[in-house]
Structure 1
Amino acid sequence: MSAQIPLTLKAQRPCHYCASRKQGCDRLLPKCSRCTSKSLRCDYSVHRDGRAVTRQNEAPAPSNDLVESRGSCSLDLSAKAESLLLRLACDSGSEAAEFDGHSCLSELFFKILDAFDVDIPNLLDSYFASVHRWVPVIEEEHIRHKCASLETSNHGDITRLLLAFYIVIQFPCNHGGHSMNTRLYRTMKRLFIIDQSSPGIKDLDLLQYGILLGAYECSQGLESAYTTLTLCTSLARMIEIQSYESSGLDSRHSEEMRLCGYALVILDRLITLSRMDHCLPLLLPDKQSFPLVEEHDLELDEGLKAYGYVGRMRITATVAQSISDALVYLRCCRLGRTPPVDYYTVDSSAQAALLTLLRLSEEKAFLNCEPTSMAISTLMILRTTYDRSRNGPRDPKDATALWSIASMSLEMCLSAADFIRCNGIENLSFVGLCCVWRAVLPLVGLKEFQISAQELETLRSELERFSSCWAIGVVFLQHFDQLVHLRSL
């Protein structure tokens, strides 16, 4: 007789405490291991809309006056801590600078991390399992090594980065009145502005910190994303100039600088692509203006053989570069200006990039994520914008092209919905999913394009799931509902 196999019961989704912090959840029933260790009530219950129910004990009680509670669901930086951080940052050049017993920013950063009840190993695990997958601008081994001696060493830049990790992995709050524009985020953004504008050498750690803030703002639909990217771009140019004057840069810095260049290109396109009005000009319009990236580093051809997160990021940056003409065209149309390149030239270039991706993806399955969804979404927006601006009936060739990309967009969105239902959404790439669900909006706006009621319901359900992870989805969802209403008239 065979030995009896013990039965382990697991929930279908992470508990709300783990999910709200983007931490790994073992989903054990009746309580996951993390909630058990913290003596918290483990909550797997859900509303009919699929979101977890908020409990009174989800957020730990503030341990000191550096943090304060936002109702029952989360903690935020206190006004006192905000004042201390800004005063220390502004007076950092003064040897006598000391406020409320704090004379060092890194020391105060560390105390704030402790006040937020941040377990640093878990924080690193959560960051590298989620956000790092779509903006891998930091070398994991290097950060983990420096964090190993954090309590016995003064690593000011690391503690600052850790707070950026903590910010960027946060899920939107279930309370409608709780914006992602938290005091902690606003304060860390102001510290970045102070450091970026201060005299002295500009380092890579500061640029990485700024890029993470920009990634947070982009994913949460904050308008400040564009200003942060502007600061990061100027900072990158200064670092680039410094690198030419220095011969002491090691290989790690060289590789991470290149990754920061990719991230800047991707965020530049994503911020513009995700907006509804297309009015923002590109900060990095051509290959020659990319800070930290070699002139021929971004080419979509058979020679592109990199794999993994870094390889995918390079390919995504290459696609982002290839759609620049399309985004410039959309901006000119929106502002009533004459585009520098005509529609058919722009459309042909964007389609060529997509066809190259589809051909390359026969050997590399990961190409069907961020790069391909960005190319499809761009073509969908481009062709529907041109279609709305036409005078008279559709040209048969234009109509065929429009229905073709609409069908491809619908297939992409429904395939993403199937994948998310089977694998979850928490650790998937924001870049790819943002482009997927941005493609939904012009798709629904095509009244002549056939979409069943069941497909619309599926799209809305998965768009709502996307919104539960990244607040920019709330903006998409509002436009989706408006378009569905117009479609039904």
Structure 2
Amino acid sequence: MNSEEPTGPRATQACVSCRRQKRKCDKVLPECGLCRRIGRPCDYEVGPPHSVDRDDFDSLQQKVLDLEARLAQSTASNNGFENGARNGFGSSNAAVSPSALSSSAFASPPRFASVNNGLKAPSPFPSLFFLDANTFEQGRYTVQKPHMTIPPEVLEHLGDSTATSELLDRYFATTHTWMPIVSKMRISQTLANPLMDRGADMAMLFLAMKLLTQTPSSLTQKSQTALYQTAKSFLAAIEYQNMYSIHVIQATLLIAAYELGNAIYPTAYLTIGHCARLGHAMGLHHPKSGPQMLPRCTTWTEQEERRRVWWAVVVLDRFVNIGNPHHPFASEDPSLETYLPVDDDTWDKGEMTANELLLVSTSPSVRAAPFARTCQASHLLGKVLHHINDVDMELDFRFEQANQLNRTVRALANLLPDEAFEEDVTNGPTLCTAMAICYSALLVLYEAYVCTEGIPKKTAAHVEIQESAINGLKEISGEVLRFCKRIKSFLDLNGLVKLSPFVADCLYQAAANYAWYVKESENPESLAMLQEIKSILVMIEPQWKVAGEYLRIVEATEFNYAGSS
């Protein structure tokens, strides 16, 4: 006998915890070695012959429901009655190139069951994950993704295999250029491998992609509203069934971007906050610490995808607060040691880069990928909004901090036009988002300091920031005007579908400034500049209705100025 093997009385069978988790139990009394080591209660008692543990019963019931649904799906498919088959959602064995995606990569999209779950009870979720995270980790518990069938109206919106193939090609050619958070590589691998899980969460992601990539001419207002309502309802049903995956939060982010771009308030604000909560629950904000709701990453591509998803939460969370900076953020500021996204093209191809990873603390002078630039700009926007919202800061320190923020944001904003000049305009204005966010941040900062007559004693820092604000409003408004010319050139060449909704805010702020200059000086040049920016807002409105909302605010401001003169 091994000298280290426990001695003493033993139970006739394994303890309840070891039996339930199918772990090896040494049966030592009064508690087994495994339970003693991880500090959990050890129980050898056997319940009444007919007693059933509620968790075990729920788990067994869910497995039976899953098997019944899969059997029904298989039977329907074999008999040719399933809507999924009619819509072309069949399994695919086609080979897919890992370096790029084309329409052939999605020639046979996955089969989705078409039976509606109705209002059945939600799938079991381990409440231990929230009640006692330490015990959840120590016990090596996992969150299982439930099987969920899909309502027919969702399949109807997704269409047949050709429609789905076109949808994915369109998404990666448009939205993906300004918010690259969905891995081309992983999507292609999932669709190509019949053994990979293709659940309702992937259908939800596809539906959100369709919502966000519609062109103004492809849908009537009524059908677009129906698509949006279906997407929101399906997302609510998925969350009701306790289905949480990276695809679910990606879909929620895309819906949030749609709401933000179409001025659907307060829903946009609430959806973005919900994205932050989802990310917190899944552990995306701290992937190396705390319990994780998602399975462990198995590839570099997957790890980078999760990083990008959380950055998208931060970007949207900062941007949605520009117009009302007095709300707290739903997500914390990234630390200076947080990694920025890697090169977008490299990630799309699934190729690990040998280049050094960039941090939030990395100087803006170091060249970065377009989405990394968007993240840098959003981080600085968050700093500006924090600064404006901090009313308790000591004045001298406040002015010094404002000057430092001005220098930092201007440094990044001054680099981006030269980098954008080198872009291939046929691939999309990928740096437009970062440029627009920088301009928005600077205009918000200057607006806070352009008029500070109420402060009696002016220090050098106070004078510096006020002069920077007065001059900066004109300078950055002029930069936005040049930015408009770039946008117009791109729209003439490529249309609206690749344009980010993030550009609208800086156009509005610059237009509002020119409206003020017209009132103050009646300068015809300022009027011409105002009209030029307004014309771009008119061009953008069919794709992003928020541009029309901004336009109406500017026109109302002009009317009020005219009435008061």
Moved more, 317-326 or 471-480: 317-326
Cα distance in 2, alignment partners of residues 302 and 397 from structure 1:
23
Residue 12 of structure 2: aligned partner? none
CA contact (8 A) 2:437 2:506 kept: yes
Q: Counterpart amino acid of 1:391?
A: G
**Partner of residue 185 from structure 2, selected from 141, 146, 155:** 141
| Kept in 2: contact 1:282–1:328 (CA 8 A) | no
Question: Deviation string for 1:51-106 (max 9, x for gaps)?
Answer: xxxxxxxxxxxx9xxxxxxxxxxxxxxxxxxxx99853755649xxxxxxxx9634
Matched residue SS, 2:118: helix
Query: Aligned partners of 1:225 and 1:86: how far apart in 2?
Result: 27
The verdict on how the C-alpha distance between 1:118 and 1:363 changes in structure 2, with shifts beyond 3 A counting, is: same
Shift of 1:194: 4.4
Classify the secondary structure of the residue corresponding to 2:537. Answer: helix
| Residue among 94, 97, 108 paired with 2:152 | 108
Determine the C-alpha separation between the residues in 1 that align with 2:446 and 2:398: 9
Is 1:460 equivalent to 2:534 in the alignment? yes
Give distance in 1, aligned partners of 2:440 and 2:405.
11
Could you tell me how far apart the structure 1 residues matched to 2:306 and 2:320 are? 21
Tell me how large the CA RMSD over aligned residues is. 4.3
1 CA distance for matches of 2:435 and 2:488? 20
**CA apart distance, 1:109:** 6.3
Distance, in Å, in 1 between the alignment partners of 2:417 and 2:484 is 22
Say yes or no: does 1:125 pair with 2:169: yes
Change (3 A) 1:471 1:203: same
Evaluate the alpha carbon distance shift between residue 422 and residue 432 of structure 1 in structure 2; reply closer, same or farther with a 3 A threshold: same
Is the aligned partner of 1:412 residue 2:450?
Answer: no
Counterparts of 1:362 and 1:155, CA distance in 2? 43
Offset of residue 188 of structure 1:
2.3
* TM-score where L is the length of structure 1: 0.67
Q: Which residue of 2 aligns with 1:278?
A: 325
> Hey, what does 1:483 align to over in structure 2?
557
The answer as to 2:504 corresponding to 1:437 is no
2:305, 2:264 → 1: CA distance?
26
- 1:258 and 2:313 are equivalent in the alignment: no
Structure 2 portions without partners, runs of 5+: 1-82, 84-113, 125-146, 284-289, 342-356, 424-429
| Counterpart-to-counterpart distance in 1, 2:470 and 2:216 | 35
Shift of the alpha carbon at 1:361?
A: 4.0
Shift in alpha-carbon separation, 1:319–1:175, aligned structure 2, 3 A: closer
Aligned length: 390
Unaligned runs of 5+ in 1: 1-62, 64-83, 95-102
Alpha-carbon distance, 1:405 to partner: 1.9
* Structure 1 pair 453–284 and aligned structure 2 pair: CA distance change class (3 A): same
User: Is 2:447 aligned against 1:376?
Assistant: no
Q: Please report how far the alpha carbon of residue 192 of structure 1 lies from its aligned counterpart in structure 2 after TM superposition.
A: 2.7
CA radius of gyration, larger in: 2
Return 356-365 or 171-180, whichever deviates more: 171-180
Aligned AA (2:330): L
Summarize the Cα distance change of 1:272–1:245 in structure 2 as closer, same or farther, 3 Å threshold. closer
Does the aligned pair in 1 maintain the 2:504–2:537 contact within 8 Å? no
> CA 1:166 to 1:85, structure 2 compared with 1: closer, same or farther past 3 Å?
farther
Equivalences for 1:70-469 in 2 at 5 Å?
87-88=117-118, 91=121, 93=123, 105-106=149-150, 108=152, 111-114=155-158, 119-147=163-191, 154-171=198-215, 182-196=225-239, 198-199=241-242, 202-223=244-265, 224-240=267-283, 241-243=290-292, 247-273=296-322, 275=323, 277-288=324-335, 297-301=359-363, 304-306=366-368, 311-331=369-389, 338=392, 343-358=398-413, 360-361=415-416, 364-365=419-420, 369-388=432-451, 390-391=453-454, 397-398=464-465, 400-424=467-491, 425-430=495-500, 432-444=502-514, 446-447=516-517, 448=520, 451-469=525-543
Contact 2:416 2:431 in 1 (8 A): yes
Encode CA deviations 1:176-197: one digit per residue, 9 max, x unaligned: 98696x2432342243344346
Provide TM-score, normalisation by structure 2: 0.59
Q: Residue 360 of structure 1: CA displacement? A: 4.3
Quote the residue 1:37 is aligned against.
none
2:433–2:502 contact (8 Å) kept in structure 1? yes
| Distance in 1 of aligned mates of 2:382 and 2:435 | 15
